[in-house]
Each structure stands twice: as C-alpha cells, then as structure tokens.
Amino acid sequence: MRRRVFIASFLATAILSFGGFVSEHMSLAASAQEKPASTAEVKIDNFSFGPAAIKVPVGTTVTWINRDDIPHTVVSTEKVFKSKVLDTDEKFSYTFTKPGEYPYFCSIHPKMTGKVVVQ
C-alpha cells in the first residue's frame, strides 16, 4: 500500500514536470515562429575567412567551417567567443544576441582576421 502511494506521487510529479516542459517548449516554438532563426556561414579556405566581414541581424547563428588542409581557430579579439582548434571540415558556431561589431582572428595564424557586424 505504501508503495502504491509512492508510485502515485511519483507519477503526479512526472506529469507536472512534463507539463512544464511542454509549455516551455511551446512558448519557444511560438517565439521561433514570430522571428525565424537566422543563420550565416563563413568558410575558412586558403588561410582566409570568406567573407571576411559579414552583416547579420541579432539572433543569427554564424557557423565557421574549415575547408583548409591546415587547422585554424576562430577567436574573438575581444574574448567574446573562442573555438577549439578546427581541423579540416570541422565547424564552430556562435549565436550573436547583441548588436555590435565582433572582430575575430585565427589564433594560430593571426594574419587571418575577420569581422561579424550584428545589427
């Protein structure tokens, strides 16, 4: 009998949490519908970022992909973001939530520089 009570309370908790999850999920979906998520890609090739400068709206997720034979990194000059080393075909993404200019460079080959302008 004791066990049955325990199970019942567990189920109730589970249902409540699930309900919470659903409502949270729904609200996320709703906001996503209002404002579709924006994405942009920067290709790393021939020891350069292409395009070297991009303009994106707030909320954009920028993905860098390394198409070079040599590893590179994507490191914000102002320490806003920092990728691990990216070997050939590896990717790094960062979502820009605030407007501003974000200069960055490859910390292995610092002559490689780029900029994301978030509006």
Partner 1 sequence: MAGNTKDEIVHDHNHDGIDRRGFLKCMAWAGTGAFCVMQGGVLKSYSMSRMGEMIPESMKGELSFVQISDSHMGFNKAANPDVAATLKAAVDKINALPAPPEFLLHTGDISHLSKPEEFDGVEQILKSASAKDVFYVPGEHDVLNDDGKQYLDRFAKGAQPGGWYSFEKKGVHFVGLVNVMNLKAGGLGTLGREQLEWLEKDVKHLKSSTPIIVFAHIPLWAVYPEWGWGTEDSAQALSYLKKFGSVTVLNGHIHQTMQKVEGNVTFHTACSTAFPQPKPGEAPSPGPMKVPAEQLRSVLGITDVSYVRGQHALGVVDSTLA
Residues that bind partner 1 (CB under 8 A): 46-48, 68-71, 73, 77, 84-85, 87-88, 103-105, 107-111, 113
Nearer to partner 1, 114 or 118 (CB): 114
Do the beta carbons of residue 76 and residue 54 sit within 8 Å? Answer: no
Phi-psi region of 102 (alpha: psi -120 to 50; beta: other; left: phi over 0): beta
Nearest approach, Cβ of 83 to partner 1 (angstroms)? 10
Helix, strand or coil, per DSSP, at residue 105: strand
Task: Give the nearer residue to partner 1 in terms of CB position, either 38 or 48.
Answer: 48
Q: Which two tokens stand for residue 57?
A: 């709206």
Tell me the three state secondary structure of residue 55.
strand
Residue nearer to partner 1 on the CB measure, 48 or 93: 48
Which of 3, 79 has the CB closer to partner 1?
79
Q: How far is the CB of 109 from partner 1 (least distance, A)?
A: 6
CB of 91 to partner 1, least distance (A): 16
Q: Is 40 helix (H, G, I), strand (E, B) or coil?
A: strand
Give CA angle at 107 (43, 91), nearest 5°. 35
